[in-house]
Copies of this chain bind each other. A is one copy, B any other.
Amino acid sequence: MAFDRFQDFLGSLVKGQRRGFFSGNGRPSIDELLDKLMGNTGEVSAIVAARELLDDYIKSDDDAKLAFFNNLEQNYNADEVAVKLAYNSYSSDPSSTNLNRLSKTAEPRRLNLLRRLNQTPGATHDLVEMRSDLLKLLKDNPQLRAVDDNFVRLFKSWFARSFLVLQTIDWSTPAAILERIIRYEAVHEIKDWEDLRRRIQPANRRCFAFFHPALTDEPLIFVEVALGWEIPNSINSILTDTKAEDIEATDFTTATFYSISNCQPGLQHISFGNFLIKQVVLGLQAEFPSIKQFVTLSPISGFKRWLQSTPEDEASEITASKARIQQIENTPEAIEENAQLIEQLVFNYLLSAKKGKYPADSVARFHLGNGAMIHQLHTAADTSEKGLAQAHGTMVNYLYDLRYIERNHERYVTEGTVEYNDKLKPLVIKP
């Protein structure tokens, strides 16, 4: 029933107005458009200016984009005098009203500028792309971090979880969306449409994605799930399972999350994954009451770097193990022979390699921070080039046990505690 064409109509309005609007005086510069946008012009003019500006921005080269962001950083702050006055009032009477006024006065004008840009059709998508550009510029232009902070502030509000829609991705999903799933898969590459079909069509495979109503056809994040009767001990057994299609069972006992991919670089640090997994766990539990075990099958992306480092305070047993492993050939055969040693070292990497009080491994940080726990390790589980390079082919299951995720999460946040299955205890190397 949605009257989609109105979006097009608005598009034509904007185009129509644009021609008329600027007809007298040639094409305005981005700066003129910014003035127009932030001025007291009528609403349609502002929309036209916003659209024009976004279109111009998209066509700009890197230098022009940098100049645009620098302009935002330098010229869209606040009125210092007004801030001073607002602060003085607040300082002498810290009432709610005075605080509100100070808060508004001290708000960088950049925020309002981005909000106004977002009043034109399709703008949300363009702004997410814009931030993607900005993130690339940050390294060489640290001053732009202030601009990025403002993007983040708005995006957190615009992508509030209550606005997100969870959808199943399957073989009846429009090709326009599936095409993006192929493109955005970041963990285990989807080679082609046939490969995709194997991951979403069989009765023992599932895929779920979050969407935002303003980003048509654009998934924000998606997770791929394999259903079965035991925890798979290798990623290959999932990706190349050609018998999957014949399965008609509904009495699965285990769900394995084997791939989670963020789709929008421009939404970095706006976290969706935490919630996605929990929502999918609940959904699967409702559909398959027989599923009792929800685990990931995750890569151990930071192991290699850790292996090659030697922190001062490292337990000597670990240092020794590292040396031994580095002498082992990185082939499936050699790995199998030394499985026990590798497993132990990888586990101790997850336990002891830290960034602050939290694990150094980014995937571990994500799942443990969500309240999951380390459940099991599998050597020779990913013998692809990438898998061998990352962690000598080892993979790990993080277990999502709804009964404990809150407790685990709180311990993790406050203490940095890494919960793990008791069976793994013998592997711990004490410092």
Measured CB to CB, the residues of A under 8 A from B are 1-3, 5-6, 9-10, 12-13, 17, 21, 40-45, 73-74, 77-78, 80, 83-84, 87, 90-91, 94-97, 99-100, 102-104, 106-108, 115, 118-124, 143, 145-147, 149-150, 153-154, 156-158, 160-163, 165-168, 171-176, 178-179, 192-193, 197, 208, 213-214, 217, 274-275, 278-279, 282-283, 285-286, 371, 402, 405-406, 409-410, 413-414
CB distance from A31 to the nearest CB of B (A): 18
Q: Which of B1, B9, B77, B123 lies in contact with A96, CB distance below 8 A?
A: B77
CB distance from A400 to the nearest CB of B (A): 11
Q: Are A6 and B282 in contact (CB under 8 A)?
A: yes
Contacts A106-B102, A119-B161, A406-B42; A6 near B174 (Cβ below 8 A): no
Q: Which of B9, B41, B115, B406 lies in contact with A160, CB distance below 8 A?
A: B115
CB distance from A221 to the nearest CB of B (A): 14
Known: A3-B165, A106-B106. 4 other contacts (CB 8 A): A12-B282, A78-B99, A173-B175, A175-B178
Q: Are A146 and B97 in contact (CB under 8 A)?
A: yes
CB distance from A232 to the nearest CB of B (A): 25
Contacts A9-B283, A100-B150; A413 near B91 (Cβ below 8 A): no
Taking chain A's interface residues, is the majority helix, strand, or loop, or is none over half, making it mixed?
Answer: helix
Q: Are B1 and A168 in contact (CB under 8 A)?
A: yes
Q: Which of the listed residues A106, A115, A406 has the most CB atoms from chain B within 10 Å of its own CB?
A: A106
Q: Which of B9, B17, B43, B162 lies in contact with A274, CB distance below 8 A?
A: B43
Q: Are A84 and B78 in contact (CB under 8 A)?
A: no
Complex formed: what's the CA distance from A273 to B120 in Å?
16
A407: nearest residue on chain B (CB-CB)? B42
Contacts A3-B208, A9-B286, A73-B96; A119 near B162 (Cβ below 8 A): yes
Complex formed: what's the CA distance from A115 to B9 in Å?
33
In the assembled complex, which residues on chain B have CB atoms less than 8 Å from the CB atom of A99?
77-78, 83, 106, 108, 146
Q: Are A115 and B45 in contact (CB under 8 A)?
A: no
A142: nearest residue on chain B (CB-CB)? B97
Q: Are B42 and A413 in contact (CB under 8 A)?
A: yes
Q: Are B371 and A42 in contact (CB under 8 A)?
A: yes
Q: Are A9 and B95 in contact (CB under 8 A)?
A: no
CB distance from A107 to the nearest CB of B (A): 5
In the assembled complex, which residues on chain B have CB atoms less than 8 Å from the CB atom of A285?
9
In the assembled complex, which residues on chain B have CB atoms less than 8 Å from the CB atom of A120?
162
Complex formed: what's the CA distance from A165 to B43 in Å?
18
A217: nearest residue on chain B (CB-CB)? B172
Complex formed: what's the CA distance from A278 to B153 in Å?
31
In the assembled complex, which residues on chain B have CB atoms less than 8 Å from the CB atom of A286?
5, 9, 12
In the assembled complex, which residues on chain B have CB atoms less than 8 Å from the CB atom of A153?
104
CB distance from A249 to the nearest CB of B (A): 14
Q: Are A6 and B279 in contact (CB under 8 A)?
A: yes
Q: Which of B145, B156, B283 lies in contact with A6, CB distance below 8 A?
A: B283
Q: Which of the listed residues A12, A41, A42, A168 has the most CB atoms from chain B within 10 Å of its own CB?
A: A42
In the assembled complex, which residues on chain B have CB atoms less than 8 Å from the CB atom of A147?
96
Complex formed: what's the CA distance from A323 to B3 in Å?
50
Complex formed: what's the CA distance from A107 to B105 in Å?
11
8 tightest A-B contacts by CB? A96-B146, A42-B409, A213-B213, A172-B174, A9-B282, A193-B193, A42-B406, A103-B106
A72: nearest residue on chain B (CB-CB)? B96
Complex formed: what's the CA distance from A222 to B379 in Å?
51
Q: Are A167 and B279 in contact (CB under 8 A)?
A: no
